[in-house]
Amino acid sequence: MRNYLKHYINGEWVESTGSDVEEVINPATEEVIGKISLGTKEDLDKAVKAAREAFPSFSTMSKDDRVKMLERIAEEYEKRKDDIIETITDELGSPLAVSEKVHFMMGYNHFSQAAESLKEFSFMEDMGGHTRVKESVGVSGLITPWNFPTNQTSTKIASAFAAGSPVILKPAEVTPFAAIILAEIFEAAGVPKGVFNLVNGKGDVIGDGISSHPGIDFVSFTGSGRVGKKIMQNASESIKNVALELGGKSPLVVLEDADIEQAARTAVNHIATNTGQVCSAATRILIPNSMKEAFEEEVLKVLPEFTVGDPRQDNKVGPLISKKQWNTVQSYIEKGVEEGATLLAGGTGKPEGLDKGYYTKMTVFSDVKNDMTIAEEEIFGPVMSILTYEDLDDAIRISNDTEYGLAGYVVGEDKEALRKVATSIRAGRIKVNDAEADFAAPFGGFKQSGIGREWGDHGIEEYLETKTILGYPS
Ligand code: NAP
Ligand code: MG
């Protein structure tokens, strides 16, 4: 049992001022694996006070010292590798291999990348007529979702630390334990007291409190558009800047000359990774009319490799995060059938033999039209929609016919066509032919996918204000 009934405030584990406790459930077993305290506004006030007190010295800590601090964090993070993997598999239900290769590694990469980006970062520049200075934004409030318990927390924290901004973190209450390990890592790495504060609790209490708190200067949020809008409204009261990362409905354009087997594997991989609970997943697969049947055949061939089941066994796909998410995904599948899409694989209900745990079937819809609900809304589950296109312009038109703009994908050979699609999709991140990850590359969305960019030097920029000085004595 993991019982963590304290918050981490001003460098100490402190009792909650409230008495409400929340049970945390392992989605693969539906069993209670621990408890957390649900914080109060009073707890939040204490955390804000600690962060404000830490601000003057932390924001003026030398760049060199901040680089060293981030490097020590990366070292301490590495030492906790096994704990992090185990914890994420328990609270999120991701297969052990995914917890290691995706979740553990993303957190590690964000801390190391922030150290590297910071080394190159210039905080003062002589522009001739004026001097331009970048200064810490102040105290930052971070609100994170459950689908990547180390990635979203780590990218925000690493950037804030690089910029000299003390933080208050409120992780999703369904996956709170990875953040507890982070607090322990920061303590081991000698992060000064008050620089990192962790307050657990409900979104509509602590999250709402963060976005409206007059003592918090900046809010970085990842999660649903519904909550993102509320955060912006709250933040407007004190003219707080916000960064929002709000999900997507990203297209994967398969070109006529693409290796069809590879394309099918890429498409299935998108809905399999993290059980499709990925904001940047490609969930609309755009196929040339002429290739539709061949592509469907390949998808059906590849699908059985992506076994759904116990994340502690050798499976590729674990359960969904919660009963609530399971119900949401089922209703989208029903909606797809109702609206006339062809159910090629999967469907509603649990996969055979998996009665316990929030498992859902890998589901593929074909003959999907872009105005169907399953093509418009973020499902956040292993559900693929196959759509067809006439020519490249049609593919680009369909790709952009969405309120989202987080990511886009294109696979094929023809360089002209690859470039055309990559530059025409209105989204923050385009990937050509399964290109490798780059943690220095900015991450964030166009349109309703959000505001701002995380990762690397762009991530650091989010936590800075620009000051101009005229007549700075040289
Ligand atoms: P969510 O409600 O937006 O939750 C994200 C975070 O915001 C959690 O920490 C949540 O706290 C907090 N929160 C909730 N209400 C808040 C409020 N009024 N003010 C401030 N913070 C608040 O997302 P969800 O309910 O977990 O998931 C719903 C859907 O959002 C998913 O199905 C998916 O489509 C989308 N989503 C997108 C991403 C992404 O990466 N962009 C991530 C997760 C979900 P608690 O939940 O702990 O109360
Ligand atoms: Mg919620």
pLDDT tens readout for residues 130-164:
999 999 999 999 999 999 999 999 999 999 999 99
CA distances from 302 to 23, 259, 264 (A): 38, 14, 7
Query: What number is the average pLDDT over the span 61-67?
Result: 98
Residues with beta carbon inside 6 Å of ligand 1?
143-147, 170, 172-173, 202-204, 207-208, 211, 222-224, 227, 230-231, 245-247, 279, 328, 378, 380
CB atoms within 10 A of CB 237: 11
For the chain, the residue count is: 474
Ligand 2 mean position, distance from CA 146 (Å): 9
Q: Which residue's CA is the closest to the ligand 1 atom numbered 29?
A: 224
Pocket of ligand 1, candidates 102, 227, 231, 377: which has the most ligand atoms within 8 Å of its Cβ, to mutate? 227
Average pLDDT, the chain: 98
Contact (CB, 8 A) for 22 and 173: yes
Contact (CB, 8 A) for 266 and 422: no
> Residue holding tokens 């934004």?
137
Residue 293 annotated in active site: no
Atom of ligand 1 nearest to the CA of 234: 19
Ligand 2 mean position, distance from CA 410 (Å): 32
pLDDT tens readout for residues 318-350:
999 999 999 999 999 999 999 999 999 999 999
pLDDT of residue 474: 82
pLDDT of residue 94: 98
pLDDT tens readout for residues 301-319:
999 999 999 999 999 999 9
pLDDT of residue 305: 97
Ligand 2 mean position, distance from CA 175 (Å): 12
How far is Cα 387 from Cα 338, in angstroms, rounded to an integer?
17
pLDDT of residue 404: 98
Q: Which residue's CA is the closest to the ligand 1 atom numbered 12?
A: 203
* 378 token code pair: 């973020």
Which is nearest to 182 in space by CA: 170, 174, 36?
Answer: 170
pLDDT of residue 434: 86
Angle at the Cα of 295 (from 289 to 296), degrees rounded to 5? 105
How far is Cα 121 from Cα 448, in angstroms, rounded to an integer?
30
Residue 403 annotated in active site: no
> Residue holding tokens 């312009």?
393
pLDDT exceeds cutoff 90 at 64: yes
pLDDT tens readout for residues 256-307:
999 999 999 999 999 999 999 999 999 999 999 999 999 999 999 999 999 9
- How much of the chain, in percent, has pLDDT values that exceed 90? 99
Query: What number is the average pLDDT over the span 246-252?
Result: 97
3-state secondary structure string, the chain?
CEEECEEEECCEEEECCCCCEEEEEECCCCEEEEEEECCCHHHHHHHHHHHHHHHHHHHCCCHHHHHHHHHHHHHHHHHCHHHHHHHHHHHHCCCHHHHHHHHHHHHHHHHHHHHHHHHHCCCEEECCCCEEEEEECCCEEEECCCCCCCHHHHHHHHHHHHHCCCEEEECCCCCCHHHHHHHHHHHHCCCCCCCEEECCCCHHHHHHHHHHCCCCCEEEEECCHHHHHHHHHHHHCCCCEEEEECCCCEEEEECCCCCHHHHHHHHHHHHHHHHHCCCCCEEEEEEEHHHHHHHHHHHHHHHHHCCECCCCCCCCECCCCCHHHHHHHHHHHHHHHHCCCEEEECCCCCCCCCCCCCCCCCEEEECCCCCCHHHHCCCCCCEEEEEEECCHHHHHHHHHCCCCCCEEEEECCCHHHHHHHHHHCCCCEEEECCCCCCCCCCECCCHHHEECCECHHHHHHHCEEEEEECCCCC
pLDDT tens readout for residues 184-233:
999 999 999 999 999 999 999 999 999 999 999 999 999 999 999 999 99
Among all bound ligands, the one having the nearest atom to the CA of 173 is 1
pLDDT category at 464 given cuts 50, 70, 90 is very high
Query: What number is the average pLDDT over the span 33-57?
Result: 98
pLDDT of residue 186: 99
End-to-end C-alpha distance for the chain, whole angstroms: 60
122, burial (CB in 10 Å: exposed 0-12, middle 13-18, buried 19+): exposed
Q: What phi, psi does 19 have (nearest 5°)?
A: -115, 0
